[in-house]
């Protein structure tokens, strides 16, 4: 993917959002890849080096990555209780399915998935993609000796506003919700 800088943003920001540190490890396909429509996945695979995106459009991807890193720190402080950002694999008919879990809490046996999204997404009923990804990650955990009893999403709403929470009855009451 080519990253442009059409708004002449500072170079440190451009460098920050241009470096993609994501690795699918040894996976042929990942839990995230399974959620994509096959045509889109194939187009990305074939034309990734031809796709152009402006660095200004990558700010929320960067914030999601930062959110994961910050939340991973709880596992570093308490590794007996938490497993964080660990990749698991499962061989299915000669293909290697891989997925990286966000956090497993051994005490509550909860598999957490962190999301940074909008209030609109939070208030909608369209969470099938999140549910599918969580269930595939649960399957991967189970095939690798971790047995979640609960699946949970920790959602950080990037556009949440306190004023709206005070005047709108159906608006989320805080910027983070399960």
Say which residue, 24 or 130, is predicted with more confidence. Answer: 130
pTM of the model: 0.85
Give the per-residue pLDDT at 28: 83
Decide yes or no: CATH 3.30.450.20 for domain 2-177: no
Tens-digit pLDDT profile for residues 135-173: 999 999 999 999 999 999 999 999 999 999 999 999 999
- How do strand 95-100 and strand 29-30 relate by DSSP bridges? parallel
Tokens 């045509």 map to which residue?
Answer: 39
Give 22's pLDDT tier (boundaries 50, 70, 90): low
What are the structural domain ranges in the chain? 2-177
């Amino acid at each position: 993917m080519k990253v442009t800088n059409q708004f002449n943003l500072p170079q440190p920001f451009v460098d920050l959002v241009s470096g993609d540190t994501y690795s699918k490890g040894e996976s042929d396909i990942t839990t995230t890849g399974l959620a994509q429509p096959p045509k889109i996945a194939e187009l990305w695979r074939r034309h990734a080096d031809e796709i152009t995106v402006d660095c200004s459009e990558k700010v929320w991807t960067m914030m999601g990555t930062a959110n994961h890193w910050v939340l991973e720190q709880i596992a570093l402080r308490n590794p007996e209780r938490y497993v964080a950002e660990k990749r698991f694999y499962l061989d299915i008919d000669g293909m290697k399915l891989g997925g990286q879990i966000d956090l497993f809490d051994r005490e509550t046996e909860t598999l957490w998935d962190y999301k940074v999204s909008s209030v609109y997404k939070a208030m909608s009923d369209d969470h099938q993609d999140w549910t599918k990804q969580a269930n595939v990650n649960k399957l991967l955990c189970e095939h690798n000796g971790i047995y979640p009893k609960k699946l949970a999403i920790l959602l950080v709403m990037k556009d949440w506003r306190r004023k709206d929470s005070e005047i709108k009855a159906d608006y989320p009451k805080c910027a983070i919700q399960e």
